[in-house]
Structure 1
Amino acid sequence: MDWLSWFDAPEYEFARQVLQRGVAALFFVAFLSSLNQFPALLGERGLLPVPVYVGAFSRMRRPTLFRWRYSDRLLRAVCAAGLVVSALLVAGIPQLGPPWVPLIAFLALWLLYMSIVNVGQTFYGFGWEMLLLEAGFTVAFLGSNQTDPPRTILILVAWLVFRLEFGAGMIKIRGGREWRDLTALYYHHETQPMPGPLSRQAHLLPKPLHRVEVLGNHFAQLVVPFFLFAPQPVASVAAGIIIATQLWLVASGNFAWLNWIAIILAFAAVSDPVAHAVIPAIPLDWHGGTQETPPWWLAITLAATALLVVLSYWPLRNLFSSRQLMNASFNRWQLVNTYGAFGSVTKKRIEIVVEGTLDEEPDDSSWREYGFKGKPGDLRRIPRQWAPYHLRLDWLMWFLPLRTVHEEWFYAFLGKLLEADRRTLRLLRHDPFDGGAPRWVRVRSYHYRFATRREFRETGNRWVRTLLYEPIGPVSLRHTPGRQR
């Protein structure tokens, strides 16, 4: 049947391999991040304990395995299961069996990680969480090595990339003036949440080049995504442009797995002949012949296609709405969401610095500064490359001055420092008290900017900072506002 031959896409086997193994690798990173950080942030004795959160709602709207019971041991079991399943998928083992095997494996990752996200509160309130969930659900229907890749699912993955890129582009055009007058990158590299090793060099580039960068970004996000649905090789070229722009973002910043998942998903539009032309080592014929699609698998993939097409109505309407939402889900399963961020760019970098002292009285004390793994602190330190790993505490520290330092989790964090809580201290790069408990802690607000080349030659500092004020004065265990535990 002609329509069945259209449904099978044997010329996209390389794309399927990249999509399945790449998305599984990002799930591995996500579960590893949760295993290392979730107990300290949200565990039984965390900053925002899940048992308290779940207990406050007699009926949780979003699905999670922790609805009835949470324990740190159960969380670790969920993460361990996710790590094992994702590692098997990266190795390609489930893909060797019938198509239902990788389907079950990816749906398991989707459900396990959704259980974590849905109780993660503010620490999991990032757009790339729902992006990973949607990607995991969609690539689950790409089948196995025993069948050809289903074309409708590849198109839906391209549709996901379109929403991600075009949605971000529209948010920028409708957002701050700096995106329209091409000055956004005068500030972005310096003020982004977590700079990388090359961010300072990117910031110090000539301003005309920054304007060219913004123009290139608009072209890559507002024009190129439409060509993902064009015939080959145009679709592959469009995917290549998206991949190239995302690699620049990887090199110049730390946005967890946001840029990496965009790169992986863009391969849905890259055909085997184009991939082989670029890298001859990529084979043109993976299976030595056309794979026949079983009727039952055809029915499953068409049902999944119909579901995702129907759910596309709401994000499609949102894309062209004057009140466009960003990073929003329209259903409890977080499928076919709307994406887009950084509609405005922060002009100044304000950093929250936490200090402690062992002195009896806080006045005229010798204060020592806590060091974070990712966020700027030490003026000489080169920012590290962390992406695709997600440092959740560091990210929320960036948001504090944009909102308020008087948040429940932050006061809980100060209390954990006063207790010298081991789990909390492991989230930091530097504990000035080597595991000991300070008598007092305080919070100071600084303006940070990248040092010029001349300033760097004279001082060796990569950052220049100016003290602004003290939003939270010295507090002790007996005088910690907002402590509820």
Structure 2
Amino acid sequence: MWHWLSAPEYQAARFAVTHLLALIYLIGFVCFLRQFRGLLGERGLTPVARFVDRVPFRRAPSVFHFRSSDRWLAGVAWTGIAASLLAQFADFAPVWGWMLVWALLWVLYSSIVNVGQVWYGFGWESLLLEAGFLAVFLGPAHVAPPAPVLWLLCWLLFRVEFGAGLIKLRGDSCWRDLTALHYHHETQPMPGPLSRWFHLLPRPLHEVEVLANHGTQLVVPFLLFAPQPVATVAAATIVVTQLWLMVSGNFAWLNFLTITLAFAAVGGPPGALPDLPGWFAVLVLAVTALFAVLAYWPVRNMLGRGQVMNRSFNRLHLGNTYGAFGSITRVRYEVVVLGASSSAGPWWEYGFKGKPGDPARRPPQVAPYHLRLDWLMWFVAINPSYGRAWLPRFMAALLRGEAPVLALLRHNPFPDEPPKLVKADLYRYRFTSREDRRETGHHWNRTRSSDLVPPLSLDDLDERSD
């Protein structure tokens, strides 16, 4: 009866999508486990407990409204890790067991995102949740893949790519005059080991890259819905582009997840699989109808003049709009945080795990892991208002030598006793030329630009809080 809903030629595609998606969930929960104490814990920069006290459940649905202790947060992280590993073997479960595992992953991670505040305001959080919700309805390996859910995954990928292409053309003239990559590799949020090499490529090649990007994001997404093998070729084109982005920078799991979605369009030889159970087929049709209704908001956003990036239109993070780099920063500034034991100095620099600091240090490979404090520091360098909710608390934590916050850093220059003063300066950073690199061994040149936070003591911060 439900044969028309089946897509047996996409069973390999389903296998790739679900197993890669489970791996991305695992990375997300590991990131939370390793960073929540300093960011969201009881002694963190923006504690979950304070957030749920002022924001009701209906505005931010989360299991953390019931309890928000560090032990509870760690329990959710470990449960999510266990469920992510279990999802790798959910193909052997009955359909209801499959749905239970994937629904648990979605509930737990949405609970984190909904109370994650500025640390979880990135587009790939909603992208993971929307893809994870659809995975609930893909079904295990012993039933045929449901075609409507595969279409919805392609529709999700379409919004990611086409939305990003539109916002680039609308948002910044450097995408239209093909000069965006003259700046982007140097000014992107988290440069990687090869970013300097990409930056130093000939400028005409950068312009070819921009043209290729426009084609991949504005034309290729429509081909995802074409007959095979055109859809597979379109998916392969997106995969190659995303791999290029992965080696040229650190964008957490955005590229990894986009590649995962691309597999939904890859056809193959059909397998002999039973049709969907009747009750499951009804759920698939209901979810398809739900997403057809939700499509109104992202379509209106993409077609409207005031297009915005990475917006969730509901508390469940379903039917979102996406986009990236609607504007390109031309000059790179970095926040350099320093401490001193007295007003006479000397001042010693704190080291961050991912963001540029020491000019001699090669930018590390971080993605698909996500260093949230480092990313927010990039935003603060662009506009200090991004740190209004947490930067004073961060400076106070350094002055008190608070272990959960210090654990977010790579290097603490005051291992024995906290400093008496801390400050933050803005520095202009540029990749070194090939000649400078040979002469100094440095990957960056930097020059001090201005004060961001003047020297502060604990007494100064206490007075401000009063």
Report TM bin, short chain: over 0.9
Residues 155-178 of structure 1, C-alpha deviation per residue, up to 9 Å, x if partnerless? Answer: 000000000000000000100100
1:478 is paired with a residue whose SS is: helix
Q: Which amino acid aligns with 1:472?
A: V
**Cα distance, 1:60 vs structure 2:** 4.5
Tell me the equivalent position of 1:66. Answer: 64
Per mean C-alpha deviation after superposition, the further-off stretch among 70-79 and 297-306 is: 297-306
Moved more, 193-202 or 431-440: 431-440
* 1:358 maps onto 2:341 in alignment: yes
Matched position secondary structure for 2:142 = coil
The question of whether the paired residues in 1 share the 8 Å contact of 2:397 and 2:405 is answered with yes
Q: CA deviation at 1:104?
A: 1.4
Q: Which residue of 1 aligns with 2:110?
A: 114
Answer yes or no: is 1:424 the counterpart of 2:424: no
Matched, 1:41 2:21: no
The correspondence for 2:430, drawn from 423, 444, 449, is 449
Secondary structure in 2 matching 1:292:
coil
Residue aligning to 1:31: 29
> Which amino acid in the other structure matches residue 298 of structure 1?
A
**Equivalent runs, 1:185-264 vs 2, <5 Å:** 185-264=181-260
The answer to whether the aligner puts 1:18 opposite 2:24 as a matched pair is no
What amino acid is aligned across from residue 199 of structure 2 in structure 1? H
Q: Which of the residues 277, 293, 299 maps onto 1:316?
A: 299
Amino acid at match of 1:395: W
Q: 2:3 aligns with which of 2, 5, 20?
A: 5
Shift of 1:5: 3.1
Please state if 1:138 is matched with 2:134: yes
Listed as ranges, the matches of 1:51-200 within 5 Å are 51-58=49-56, 60-90=58-88, 93-200=89-196
**Could you tell me which residue of structure 2 aligns to residue 389 of structure 1?**
369
Between 99-108 and 412-421, the greater mean CA deviation after superposition: 99-108
Mean Cα deviation higher: 411-420 or 57-66: 57-66
Q: Give structure 2 stretches of 5+ with no counterpart.
A: none
Q: 1:190, 1:439 → 2: CA distance? A: 34
Deviation at 1:473, TM superposition (A): 1.5
Whether the 8 Å CA contact 2:360–2:441 is kept in 1: the answer is yes
Please state if 1:411 is matched with 2:392: yes
Deviating 4+ runs (over 4 angstroms) = 481-485
Q: Is the 8 A contact 1:228 1:269 kept in 2?
A: yes
Change (3 A) 1:146 1:339: same
Q: State the shift of 1:207 in Å.
A: 0.2
Offset at 1:293?
Answer: 2.2
Q: Number of aligned pairs?
A: 465
SS in 1 for 2:251: coil
Quick one: which amino acid aligns to residue 123 of structure 2?
G
Stretch of structure 1 that moved more, 319-328 or 224-233: 319-328
**Equivalence for 1:281:** none
For 1:436 and 1:20, how far apart are their aligned partners in 2? Answer: 48
Taking structure 1 as reference, are residues 206 and 170 closer, same or farther at Cα in structure 2, changes over 3 Å only?
same
Report sequence identity in percent: 53
Normalised by the length of structure 1, the TM-score is 0.93
Per the TM alignment, residue 102 of structure 1 is displaced from its structure 2 partner at its CA by 1.6
Residue 299 of structure 1: which of 267, 282, 287 is its match? 282
Corresponding residue for 1:371? 351
Query: What amino acid maps onto 1:195 in structure 2?
Result: P
| TM-superposition CA deviations, 1:33-55 (whole Å, max 9, x none) | 01111121111111111111221
Conserved 8 A contact 1:371-1:377? yes
TM superposition shift of 1:105? 1.0
Provide Cα deviations, 1:407-431, integer angstroms capped at 9, x if missing partner.
Answer: 2301111111111111111111111
Pair 1:348-2:331 in alignment: yes
After superposing the two structures, state which structure 1 stretch, 399-408 or 191-200, moved more: 399-408
Q: For residue 213 of structure 1, report the CA deviation from its aligned partner.
A: 0.4
CA distance in 1, matches of 2:74, 2:435: 49
SS of the counterpart of 1:480? helix
Tell me the distance in 2 between the aligned counterparts of 1:257 and 1:482: 41
Q: For the residues of structure 2 that align with 1:470 and 1:175, how far apart are their CA atoms?
A: 30
CA 1:370–1:9: 2 relative to 1, 3 Å: same
Q: Is the 8 A contact 2:137 2:149 kept in 1?
A: yes
1:381, distance to aligned residue in structure 2 (A): 0.8
> 1:484 Cα deviation (Å)?
4.9
Instruction: Give how far 1:216 is off.
Output: 0.5
How big is the shift at 1:480? Answer: 2.0
Write the deviation string for residues 228-252 of structure 1: whole angstroms up to 9, x where unpaired: 0000000000000000000000001
Letter in 2 for 1:208: P
* Greater Cα offset, 467-476 or 49-58: 49-58
- How far has the Cα of 1:370 moved from its partner? 0.4
CA RMSD of aligned residues (A): 1.5
Q: CA deviation at 1:436?
A: 2.6
**Contact in 1 for aligned 2:333/2:426 (Cα 8 Å):** yes
| Letter of the 1:109 counterpart | L
Counterpart CA distance in 2 for 1:299 and 1:6 is 13
Q: Are 1:33 and 1:390, in contact at CA under 8 Å, matched by a contact in 2?
A: yes
SS in 2 for 1:310: helix
Q: Is the 8 A contact 1:128 1:258 kept in 2?
A: yes
2:221/2:234 contact within 8 Å kept: yes
Report the secondary structure of 1:314's partner residue: helix
Report if the CA contact (8 A) 1:60-1:67 is conserved: no
CA distance in 1, matches of 2:224, 2:463: 50
In structure 2, how many angstroms separate the alpha carbons of the residues matched to 1:119 and 1:435? 34
Q: Describe the superposition over 1:106-140 as per-residue Cα deviations: whole angstroms up to 9, x where unpaired.
A: 11111111111111111111111111000000111
CA distance, structure 1, for counterparts of residue 25 and residue 57 of structure 2: 28
